[in-house]
Chain A
Amino acid sequence: MSQPQELLFSKEHEWVKVDGDVATVGITDYAQNSLGDIVYVELPKVGSTINQFGNTGVIESVKAVSDLFTPVSGEVLEVNTGLETDPALVNREPFGGGWLFKVKLSKANETSHLLAPESYDQLVAEEGR
């Protein structure tokens, strides 16, 4: 398995794409595959402030309801409203159209707590064993 190289990852299987001081957040292909068919996504409110690794929402699949954690801190700028009607987009395009929310980063240096693609590959390989 190989992850998109421009992304950073959390141990809770979220990805982050940093562009200047704005980060886009989603869940990884491995995460969507383990969750199974996603039926509902609850996202943070636009304008709210969220803290790294804090609980920021819920993802419900046909198997289970799971907490969603944010890999970065900051103010929520935008959420993917398309998921309201089509949550399965997260299954189909986890790294693309299935993104979850965008954050205006408040702590630039905290990305050092995240995993590079190779390290995340390793984590997945271990979990999958």
Chain B
Amino acid sequence: MSQLASEMGTPLIFEQGQNGRANRYFARAESAADYLPAEVLRDDLMLPENTELDVVRHYTRLSQRTFGIDLGFYPLGSCTMKYNPRINDAVANLPGLRDLHPFAPDEMAQGALQIMYELERSLASLFGMAAFSLNPAAGAHAELAALLVAKKYFRERGESGRNTVIVPDTAHGTNPASAAMCGFRVISLRSDERGRVGLDELEKVLGPETAVCMMTNPNTLGLFEDHIVEIAKSVHDAGGLMYYDGANANALMGNARPGDMGFDLMHLNTHKTFTIPHGGGGAGHGPLGVAAHLTDYLPIPVVRASKMPNGKPTKFVSDGLTFSLDFDLPKSIGPMRSFWSNFAHAVRALAYMYANGAQGLKRVSELAVLNANYLRVKIAPFLETPYPEICRHEFVASAQKLKKETGVRALDIAKALLDRGYMAPTMYFPLLVPECLMIEPTETESKETLDGFVESLREIVETARRDPKQILDAPTKTVVGRIDETRAARQPDLRWQSH
């Protein structure tokens, strides 16, 4: 048994079964060589042979040992782990959408193109941008696309000297990483004592080399950047562009629009805000929004609508229109992804938007903010909250004091929460708060769930003061206990080998 398998008490699928044990529903081919060229045939693959029942049991057992939003509370800050309504999947699985071939000509794909068009228009109006591209496949991917847009825009204006990107120290690591990957120099901006971008600090780094200032609002401390209009003006006065990291869009839908704050570029993590399952590293969706002066640079293809000769307007935005994919954008940065990108996710996102409606989405954000503030106030008496003011959809707590007094760190609290049936909050991010726990409850959790979480957290802190060892040894009830994080980072054992 491999080490991981034995730790988990379950052999790998490769370690189970017997030669010849597999169920066979189909007659065996006389010889594979009749169907496949000799050079692609190999006999060195040790594929496991298990009965269907054994396979079902194996994977059902594994599925019971994992944790997800369908099992419990998942307050992972910055990730918006809300419930993903099943209607999204029902719609995305309609055969007409699911089985559509990416090479289908536009005439045969009108419904699918209409979905993309309506999603694009809805996002543009909800966030105040001129246009969106549904091409990028995740937030970080859209950041890269946006910076490529900015680079091309400046080059065509003869301003190639604009080679720096300003990123506040509360930013997600993908922001500076995307900028560096795109060849920009990154300037990190220290937050002020209110946890926000200070105009004075910003002015110091602005100049003729400024290309883009990347911000998220509310920032990753869950605080609204209340000088955002002045910040945008300063950056624009210096000739730069403003980029909005939409990972925190769940805080402001229908209440405030990045376009109105002065942002020129933005992305959405539709997999977060618009309820697409995520967290497994799987397919994501990162629409890129731009203001009017940047629409020519969007990735291709773009969905276009034109009036049908006899189209009658009805209650749907796009009835009476015909749709086509436009690949002919001479200034475009090109495609970021093949075909229509992760189209099923566009379907899920639109299903969610239409199920809620504009008023519903506004309410979603209001409840997300209410839930976060409820937790913040309930937790503050026993765990420090370094920014004790009304937050947006998330907030940070710090175990710094507890660590000094008991040796119990944010990491240990996180591990102890696993024992109590919760996913741990995001830890040690943003970096400027020591021993940080970043908590985002989302709007889909009930008061009972939030109260239960507060009680568990209180009990963990009290136990830490009485008997820290109990918390330092956690988790003890999970399938795998405390792992050696250094070894996991340095010598990850990711591959099973038969020999």
* A interface residue numbers (CB < 8 A to B): 34, 36-40, 60, 62-65, 87-88, 127-128
Q: Quick one: which of B404, B429, B434, B485 contacts A34, CB cutoff 8 A?
A: B434
Measured CA separation A60–B486 after assembly (Å): 10
Contact in complex: B411, A40 (CB < 8 Å)? no
Report which of A37, A64, A65 forms a contact with B486, defined as CB distance below 8 A: A37
Nearest residue (CB) in A for B436 is A63
Which of A40, A62, A64, A128 has a CB less than 8 Å from the CB of B485? A62
User: Which B residue's beta carbon lies closest to that of A85?
Assistant: B490
- In-complex Cβ contact of A62 among B173, B404, B429, B489 (8 A): B489
Closest residue on chain A to residue B427 by CB atoms: A63
Residues of A within 8 A of B173 (CB): 65
Known contacts A34-B434, A64-B428, A88-B486; 4 additional CB pairs below 8 A are A36-B411, A64-B429, A127-B434, A128-B404
Q: Which residues of B sit under 8 angstroms from A62, Cβ to Cβ? A: 485-486, 489
- A-B contacts, 25 listed (Cβ < 8 Å): A34-B434, A36-B428, A37-B485, A37-B486, A38-B486, A39-B486, A39-B489, A39-B490, A40-B489, A40-B490, A60-B489, A62-B485, A62-B486, A62-B489, A63-B427, A63-B428, A64-B428, A64-B429, A64-B431, A65-B173, A87-B490, A127-B434, A128-B400, A128-B404, A128-B434
Residues of B within 8 A of A88 (CB): 486
Question: A97 CA to B411 CA in the complex, in Å?
Answer: 27
Binding site for A on B (CB under 8 A): 173, 400, 404, 411, 427-429, 431, 434, 485-486, 489-490
Chain B residues in 8 Å Cβ range of A128:
400, 404, 434
How many Å lie between the Cα of A38 and that of B404 in the bound state?
Answer: 20
Residue of B429, B434, B486 with highest tally of chain A CB at under 10 A: B486
Give the distance in Å from the alpha carbon of A87 to the alpha carbon of B487 in the complex. 11
Q: How far is the CA of A16 from the CA of B296 in the complex (A)?
A: 54
- Taking the closest CB of chain A, its distance from the CB of B240, in whole angstroms, is 23
Q: Which residue of B lies closest to A65 (CB)?
A: B173
Interface-central residue, A39, A40, A63, A128, by most chain B CB under 10 Å: A63
Among residues of B, the one whose C-beta sits closest to the C-beta of A37 is B486
Chain B residues in 8 Å Cβ range of A39: 486, 489-490
Chain B residue at smallest Cβ distance from A127: B434
Tell me the complex Cα distance, A65–B404, Å. Answer: 23
The complex places the Cα of A38 from the Cα of B490 at a distance, in Å, of 10
Q: Which residues of A have CB within 8 Å of B490?
A: 39-40, 87
Bound-complex Cα distance A62 to B400 (A)? 18
Give Cα A64 to B486, complex, Å.
12
CB distance from A85 to the nearest CB of B (A): 10
Complex alpha-carbon distance, A9 and B451, angstroms: 46
Chain A residue at minimal CB-CB distance from B173: A65
The residue in chain B whose Cβ has the minimal distance to the Cβ of A33 is B403
- Taking CB atoms, residues of chain A closer than 8 Å to B428 are 36, 63-64
Contacts of B427 in A (CB 8 A): 63
CA distance A40 to B492 in the complex (A): 14
Which residues on the A side are within 8 Å of B489 (C-beta)? 39-40, 60, 62
A37 to B486, CA, bound (A): 6
CA distance A88 to B427 in the complex (A): 21
Complexed CA–CA distance, A64 and B173 (Å): 10
A36 to B400, CA, bound (A): 13
Q: For the complex, what is the distance from the CA of A65 to the CA of B173, rounded to whole Å?
A: 9
CA distance A36 to B431 in the complex (A): 13
Least distance between B151 CB and chain A CB atoms (Å): 23
Cα distance A38–B434 when bound, in Å? Answer: 16
| Cα–Cα distance between A87 and B404 once the two chains are bound (Å) | 25
Chain A, residue nearest B400 (CB):
A128
Which 8 A-B pairs have CB atoms at the shortest separation, nearest pair first?
A: A63-B428, A39-B489, A62-B485, A37-B486, A39-B490, A39-B486, A37-B485, A64-B431
What chain B residues lie within 8 Å of A40 (beta carbons)? 489-490
Nearest-CB residue, chain A, relative to B429: A64
Please, which residues of chain B bring their CB within 8 A of the CB of A60? 489
Which residue of A is nearest B491, CB measured?
Answer: A39
What A residues does B431 contact at CB under 8 A?
A: 64
Distance from A66 Cβ to chain B, minimum over Cβ atoms (Å): 8
Most buried by A among B400, B428, B431: B428
Query: Across the interface, which residues of A come within 8 angstroms of B434, CB to CB?
Result: 34, 127-128
Identity of the chain B residue whose Cβ is nearest the Cβ of A91 in the assembled complex: B486
Measured in the bound complex, the distance between the Cα atoms of B176 and A65 in whole Å is 12
In the bound complex, CA of A76 to CA of B180 (Å): 26
B486 CB, min distance to chain A CBs, angstroms: 4
Tell me, in angstroms, the Cα distance from A62 to B490 when the chains sit together. Answer: 10
B91 to chain A minimum Cβ distance, whole angstroms, is 40
Nearest CB in chain B to that of A35: its residue: B428
Closest beta carbon of chain A to B59's beta carbon, Å? 30
Minimum distance in angstroms from A49 CB to a CB of chain B: 20
Tell me the smallest distance from the CB of A47 to a CB of chain B, in Å. Answer: 25
Bound-state CA distance A40–B486 (Å) is 9
